[in-house]
Amino acid sequence: KDQIHLDRTRKFYQRGLQNCPNSVVLWCLASQLEERVAEYRSGSTNAGVTKARSLLELARLKNAKNPELWLEAIRLERRAGNEKLAVSLMARALQECPTSGLLLAENISTSPRVEQKSKSADAIKRRPDDPRVIAAVAALFASERKHDKARKWYERAVKLDPDVGDSWAKWYAFELDAGKKEGREDVKQRCIAAEPKHGELWCSVSKAMPDRRKSTAEHLEAAAQNILATMQKLN
């Protein structure tokens, strides 16, 4: 990684955004490049975060009421250690996108434990049939060791939309952590039959170049292990 590579990539994204200003993926990639500018020995981490923040603000001006852009901005601040700003951004995001399952689920999972129940109740009122919200509530029950409730909510999440691989992965990770062999196998076989194709975590595994040709069962295992590794870091 060097300045030449950074400049080339910047120009590539700039051209792309000129032609496709509504491409959320391009805005997020361009922002992430600026966030990592220190890796290219071209500026400080703080300077990179500032530039990334500005790009995402511009992206939201051009693409109003877009939950994905709000979420990227919130996560940028969390990665930079700006927790108060992340909380403030989440509040603004939910004012602009009050029924976004993506944001509501993130709000549940990232809020302090004492606030998670109230955040869950609010999210369910706003989006009672969003699998991301339902899976986030299931994860909350799992963290409280309320295993039967967690299973019921994971079951509900995958029934609402069996094509969302993240719900299957979270349920399978839960069974690996707290369940029995029979339960794990049941979740795995049902996931294989559903052949999920969507979900942020699921796609990060299934669309990674080394894993593209792997089976649904292998993607499920990999995604679940990623979830368990994240849980161990948080604990």
pLDDT tens-place string over residues 129-167: 999 999 999 999 999 999 999 999 999 999 999 999 999
Structure tokens at 179: 């369940």
Q: Determine whether 48 is exposed, middle or buried from the number of CB atoms within 10 Å of its CB (0-12, 13-18, 19+).
A: buried
The CA distance from 149 to 157, in Å, is: 12
pLDDT attached to residue 235? 67
Q: Are 48 and 38 in contact (CB under 8 A)?
A: yes
Q: Are 173 and 132 in contact (CB under 8 A)?
A: no
pLDDT tens-place string over residues 53-80: 999 999 999 999 999 999 999 999 999 9
Q: Are 133 and 125 in contact (CB under 8 A)?
A: no
The CA distance from 58 to 50, in Å, is: 13
